[in-house]
Structure 1
Amino acid sequence: MSSRQPLFLVAFLCVLGASAPAGAQAVYGYADLHSHLMAEHSFGGGWFAGKLEGPMDVAVQRCDGNFPFKSHAATRFPVVSELLGDDTGWHEGKKRGYDRRQCQYFLGIKIPGTCPQTHFEQWPMWNAIAHQQMWQGWLQQAYQNGLRVMVVSVAESNFLCSNTAPSTRRYDCDEMASIKRQISAAQGFVSRNSGWVGIATTPAQARSLIQQGKLALVLAVEVTQLFPSGDYLAQLDELRSMGVRSVQVVHHADNRFGGAAPIKELIGAANKIETITFSEQTRINDIVCRNGSGSSGTCNGDTYLNERGLTAEGDALVRAMMDRGMLVDVAHLSRKGFVNVYQIAQQRGNYPLLYSHAHMWNTIDSSVDRHEKYIKQDEIQMITNTGGMVGLRTGPEPTVQYGSAVSNSCQGSARSFAQSLMYAVDNGLKVGFGADLNGFTSQLKPRYNFFGCYSDFNQINNAGGPNDLHKKGLAHVGLLPTLMSDLQAVGTPSYYLDHLNRSAENFLQMWERSASMATVQTGNWTGWLNRDGPSGSGDWEGLSDFVLAGQTCSSPVGIECQNTSGVNWTQTGEVYTCAPTVGGICNNANQSDGYCQDYRVRFLCPMSGTFSYSASNTNSAQQNTPTHNVLLNAGQTIQLGTCSVSGASGSGDTYLRLYGPGGTQVAVNDDSCGLLTYMSFTATQSGTYQIRAGCYSSNSCSGTVAYTIQ
């Protein structure tokens, strides 16, 4: 660092202190706005070698190179695996993680090929697409040296998953099931590592975690088949209840919500596989691009663009995300879709837009096949107009020379990244990293390269020799701090590095502004509930027990769990299950000391919902009745029925009764819509109300009861 930088930082921190929320300490450090912490559970769970958790010699140990049988990084096609990447297929000679082998001997003679070799000599590397880059030790290394916020993208691709080798898959390829599995895995990871990492569901919680000396994780979703059917608003609320705070509207292909940014390599892969299999596998290659005059042509991100923007459902989904104060990530949207979202943001008082991982169109060399995910000047202006933010991709693409501060003499390395960083900041963007680690993509290249970067090669040798970043490029998350140092080493002015070092604070301020613009209450919280203590087998705060006792609704969309001292479960260090469909569960046998703390829970009950039933001989809903609990606050009105409410239906002569917290009937209806039922009731007291569904007299009937609460 220059001798002037400490004084600059003092002034800079004073400025940050003025802009942080009252009583909050400004955060100094950087943010990665897009990486894949749970990737080992994606693509069927059989693509990546290595694990997030565990000792180094086990979690990222030397892989088998798919010999003698396929175990990872293999497609279902014989040759494609070998051509896909340097670390896919039969990657003999490139399988060295941590080598745990011990030399084997025969009659005292060492057997060739059995002894350990240099650890991590060939993986992870900058171009790895199939080996773990997010091991917890590396993540902790990044956190200890400046990483303060990471947006964890739980991602899936049915197309990629379904074309991996079936023998390696642990899971099916359903995208929505995959992200829920990954969210659960992330929660488990945090529970086991709560001393240094936590999941933040509010910006205040993120600040609290950081002030405690912990890395704040924020959950985001990135899938192509997003909410493929059914009520997408209910599904959005379900994700929110699981802790998700950002959702990309599209990913690799057009979907029900809008058009995607076409990516040439993916389109080519889809074409090849559909030719090989003689079947339609994906919509990735179905995107239609047109020019300004309406003629179709090859998608190029410039003159021929995806004709599709947001659909009507996409418009409603984006507005719903804004209603809920969520982070709106416009990554992977078509240019037309991007404009559509920006127009909505303008209508909402310039709601901030996040572009979690992107390249700058004007700095990436024209020799690269640029596409719609490379953002242009007008799109930069859209983001700055809304007070949004960009995560700069740490990719190996060659860039043009920008200014004279950093020589662009080693293409695809930190020198190239510096060009984009300086350009973005000079154009008014707030930037963080958009690393996309474990994202099936390559990273920044090494500078220690005799042939491609001769001057850097000599310079590094003269300065004492190479570090891992110099030799391997951005091979794993633990090298992000080294990248920060390397950007300084190549001459990046401190002004631009300070923009990165305030990216965590900028992200939190953007999130705070998003949250402050929320307009919709997503549910009603119960009070804190505690029915059990940790004696016996553990502490069991089960949903079903509270529903049976009439203390909560039947289908909560959210839950909070904490010990009786008010400490969130993620910070207790205990193995704990906290899920709205289950409740809070702590098993003494799973704890290191054999004993759970005493916990309490509260549930978030939805503002709308449905439940189906089939019944007979209910004596007009007075016996043998299916029941469903809802939570109402005094003054709220519930509308419910087998008709007249969105999602309601019925067959036969349905009958509904509503009972209040004291077990007294407060409303009843038989034939509001012919033989079907509808009623409205305004609560005079807060508490759990019970809907009892039945049929007139002793008749049989069935239906779907729908309700809304306002």
Structure 2
Amino acid sequence: MRSITRLRGRPGGVVALLTASLLATTLLVAVTGVGTAAPSAPDNTVYQLANGCYAVQSASGDFVRRDAAGYRADRASADEAEPFRLHAAQLGRFMFYGVDGSMLAHDGTNTVVATAAATPMTDWTVMSSDENFVLTATTNGRQLVTRDNALAMAEPGSQPDTGSFTLVPRTGCADFPESEVNATGNPTEIGLGGEVRGFIDTHVHMNASEFMGGNLHCGKPFDPQGVTAALVDCPDHQPNGMPALLENVLSYGNPFETHDTTGWPTFADWPAQDSLTHEQTYYKWVERAWRGGLRIFTNLFVANRVLCELYPSKRNPCNEMETVRIQAEQTRELQDYIDAQYGGPGRGWFRIVSSPAEARQVAADGKLAVTLGVEVSEPFGCSLRNGVAQCDENDIDQGLDELYDLGVRQMIVTHKFDNALGGTRFDGGITGVAVNIGNYLGTGEFWQSEPCQGVAEDNELPTKVDGAQNLIGMLPPGVTLPVYPAGPQCNSRGLTSLGEHMIQGLMDRGMIVDIDHLSVKAADDALTMLEAAHYSGVVSSHSWSDPSYYKRIYALGGFVALYAGQLESSDGTSETDGKPKEKGFIQAWREAREMRSDDYYFGFGYGADTNGFGPQAAPRGDADVNPLQYPYTAFDGTVMDKQHAGTRVFDVNTDGVAQYGLIPDWIADMRIAGGPDGDTIIDDMSRGAEAYLQMWERARN
């Protein structure tokens, strides 16, 4: 099994390790919590079947029963019929779950079978026909019919006269497997004067299952066939985790590490706060965060062409804009899936919004407002190759229009590598070597530096390459890493003219400029443009900009969120690069708070960067002697107990933020970690959603 000691650090360093791991890989492989908000869609007899318990009766009066051979239809009474729990696989689609855990399924042709495995063959499209229902196999369009007391599948397009069924209400159904929420109470609606009280995450990646070619990340935020299909390990991690090179290097620092690959229902080794290729934003875990106070959730579509091309296994294209389209589609499918669990379109708690007015209405309905953003390295194909931009202003205009139509309202301009829009903020230490090599592979050039001017600095570049011999071996013959001068060095690239066009285009559309990952020179250029326009729509979403810029952001009426890492500051030095460890969330909040502007409503946020190859918060250092006590009461009165998923019970005192459902626990823990400032930070965090909305509203005026 895996070791207890694992790599920890800020998210940028982990992404750098990912680059190194991919380079190495290239060589090696050449409760359920049903909502109570008022429905926003008309009643529909099909949608209302979700989670119900029914017997299935044919038009001739036969009931479906379970026997040793599978399922059949005969003249049994309703009490003798099989009671099925109807799990909504999507709007208008269901799985028929029997009392012994087997499901009504088909074999792809004419035969109806029983199976214990949730697969696409257990997925049925249900349509109403007068007072009856027609059941069609979602995979092939064949209709379920009865023939001589047998169940069969009719040919697509035929019109069988024995293909309608009645669903008779029953009791005694088994519960379909699902992660619990373990929260009591309903999310509060808007407060006095329309103020939205609650937390905001400005930086999370719920669609990581579709990035990097789609095969690197293990698990999904949902699956039509449920949790047993969604929370499974990657095939290349089997049988004991040792083949999982990237997971082992990224998470444990040991390419020969092992881990339990079972997933649901035991989750023996994952999710974990530092297991970086396993799913952490399963929708039920996000639901718990919403019930624990989360009101705005900024889901960033993420992609990196270079790293995708390096990874050998993929099912999706590496084109970054195509990846964005795939992730946008998955997000809307997720919204529909959650709606299906709650009885129809608009009834779910997960609501994608594209304006602050929509977000306020969602809050008024007691639901979660989901905003969309983008964090890619080559937006609109704006890569840089040997100093030549691979896009033009027309590409940017068309790309921004497409993103806007997809509902995207927040954007990071550069990410990890320099591009045609500007320079990126360096990664430091040995991990910076890995990312610099990735920059070379993507652009044909290494980072170019100059002495930093002023207070703001990029992360320190390595002045020597000790320990990087294996990385250097990835470079083409004759290419050597640059050795940078000692002292603070900053990326010499600021915003290009195309980058300025991008910033102006974001302002013209009332979109939010996220300055994280911009080099300090490019960030300064961007802030200067925003200041000249008096534009409030600016954020630092997850601690990837120089803190000295926070005062300028606040002066514009912008918003600051910190990476959701350790609450307390640490002494000593980092295990990876020998530099002093960074201050914790509480101390960073104190310092940012001092820079706030009295001209604007103040609230604070966090950027979890979940699924973004950044470790989540480990248990608080003194949690063993001064733990968060369960159950606890969230700021709005919701009672939160330890979360159960299958047979696993999660506890922030021992697990840290192993998955997103523990975010409310991490925030509640701030009251303890903050000492005399505990109440103040909880108050600031609960004002975060409103502060963000007011910033967004100013950007659109």
What is the TM-score with the length of structure 2 in the denominator? Answer: 0.57
Query: Are the equivalent residues in 2 in contact too, given 1:126–1:446 (CA < 8 A)?
Result: no
- How do 1:144-163 and structure 2 match up within 5 A? 144-163=291-310
Residue 439 (structure 1) shift: 0.4
Distance 1:473 1:132 in 2: 15
**Partner of 1:500 in structure 2?**
685
Pick the aligned partner of 1:289 from 440, 449, 461. 449
**After superposition, what is the alpha-carbon deviation per residue over 1:421-451, rounded to whole angstroms, capped at 9, x for unaligned?**
222223327420111000011111123xxxx
Q: Does 1:330 align with 2:515?
A: yes
Which residue matches 2:664? Answer: 481
Amino acid paired to 1:419: Q
Partner letter of residue 303 of structure 1? P
Q: Would the aligned equivalents of 1:64 and 1:95 in 2 still touch at CA under 8 Å?
A: no
| % same residue | 28
Q: Is the 8 A contact 1:352 1:510 kept in 2?
A: yes
- 8 A Cα contact 2:198 2:686, kept in partner: yes
Deviations along 1:342-382, one digit per CA (max 9) or x if unpaired, are 11111112433111111xxxxxxxxxxxxxx35233x1211
Is 1:321 matched up with 2:506?
yes
In 2, Cα distance between equivalents of 1:213 and 1:281: 47
Q: Which residue does 1:368 correspond to in 2? A: none
Is the 2:414–2:517 Cα contact (8 Å) retained in structure 1?
A: yes
Does 2:354 align with 1:185?
Answer: no
Matched, 1:37 2:199: no
What residue is the counterpart of 1:214 in the other structure? Answer: 367
Contact 1:87–1:129 under 8 Å retained in 2: no
In structure 2, the partner of 1:261 is: 425
Letter in 1 for 2:276: I
Alpha carbons of 1:398 and 1:174: their partners in 2 closer, same or farther (altered >3 Å)? farther
Contact 1:141 1:478 in 2 (8 A): yes
Query: Which whole-Å CA distance do the structure 1 matches of 2:565 and 2:258 have between them?
Result: 25
* Cα distance change of structure 1 residues 297 and 322 upon mapping to structure 2, 3 Å threshold: closer
1:355 and 2:540 aligned:
yes
Tell me, in whole angstroms, the C-alpha distance in 2 between the residues paired with 1:357 and 1:505: 18
Give the Cα separation in 2 of the matches to 1:139 and 1:173. 28
Query: Which residue pairs with 2:31 in the alignment?
Result: none
1:375 and 2:546 correspond: yes
C-alpha RMSD of the superposition: 3.5
Question: What is the letter of the counterpart of residue 418 of structure 1?
Answer: I
Q: Which residue does the alignment assign to 1:664?
A: none
Report the counterpart of residue 242 of structure 1 in structure 2: 406
Within 5 A, what are the aligned runs for 1:455-604? 455-460=622-627, 468-490=651-673, 491=675, 492-516=677-701
Give the direction of change, closer, same or farther, for the CA distance of 1:72–1:252 in structure 2 (3 Å limit). Answer: farther
CA distance in 2, matches of 1:169, 1:31: 33
Unpaired runs of 5+ residues, structure 1, are: 1-12, 19-24, 76-80, 100-118, 275-279, 359-372, 402-410, 448-452, 517-710
1:261 and 1:302, CA in 2 relative to 1: closer, same or farther beyond 3 A? farther
Contact 2:516 2:545 in 1 (8 A): no
**Number of aligned residue pairs:** 435
Contact 1:425–1:499 (Cα < 8 Å) also in 2: no
Shift of residue 289 of structure 1?
1.5
Q: Is 1:223 the equivalent of 2:376?
A: yes
Deviation at 1:459, TM superposition (A): 3.1
* CA deviation string 1:485-520 (max 9, x = no partner): 11113334211211100111111111111111xxxx
Say yes or no: does 1:92 pair with 2:220: no
Alignment partners' CA distance in 1, 2:405 and 2:368: 21
CA distance in 1, matches of 2:271, 2:422: 36
Q: Which structure would you say has the larger RCO, counting Cα contacts within 8 Å and 6 or more residues apart?
A: 2
Counterpart CA distance in 2 for 1:510 and 1:64 is: 44
Give the superposition deviation at 1:211.
Answer: 1.3
Shift of 1:210: 1.7
For the residues of structure 1 that align with 2:425 and 2:442, how far apart are their CA atoms?
15
- The Cα of 1:456 is off from its aligned counterpart by 3.4
How far is the alpha carbon of 1:325 from its aligned partner?
A: 0.6
* Aligned counterpart, 1:299: 461
Counterpart position of 1:140 = 287
In the alignment, which residue of structure 2 is the partner of 1:66?
Answer: 237
SS at structure 2 position matched to 1:456: coil
Distance verdict in 2 for CA 1:201–1:72, change over 3 Å? farther
1:28-51 per-position Cα deviation (integer Å, ceiling 9, x unaligned): 110000000111000110111111
C-alpha displacement of 1:63: 5.6
Identify if the C-alpha distance between structure 1 residues 292 and 63 changes in structure 2 by more than 3 Å, giving closer, same or farther: closer
**Letter of the 1:338 counterpart:** A
1:446 is matched with 619
User: Offset of 1:175 from its aligned partner?
Assistant: 1.1
Q: Deviations over 1:106-133 (max 9, x none)?
A: xxxxxxxxxxxxx223211111210000
The one-letter amino acid paired with 1:340 is D
Determine the C-alpha separation between the residues in 2 that align with 1:512 and 1:349: 14
Q: 1:149, 1:216 within 8 Å by CA — same for their partners in 2?
A: yes
Q: Tell which structure's C-alpha radius of gyration is larger.
A: 1
Instruction: State how far apart, in whole Å, the 2-side matches of 1:38 and 1:182 are.
Output: 6
Aligned counterpart for 1:51 among listed residues 220, 223, 239? 220
In structure 1, what residue type is equivalent to 2:433? Answer: G
SS across alignment from 1:443 = coil
Distance 1:385 1:15 in 2: 27
* Distance across 2 between alignment mates of 1:221 and 1:463: 36
Contact 2:242/2:257, CA 8 A, preserved across alignment: no
Which residue is 1:173 aligned to?
A: 318
Superposition pairs for residues 385-464 of structure 1, below 5 Å?
A: 385-396=555-566, 399=569, 416-428=584-596, 430-447=603-620, 453=621, 455-460=622-627
Paired with 1:29 and 1:319, the residues of 2 have a C-alpha distance of 31
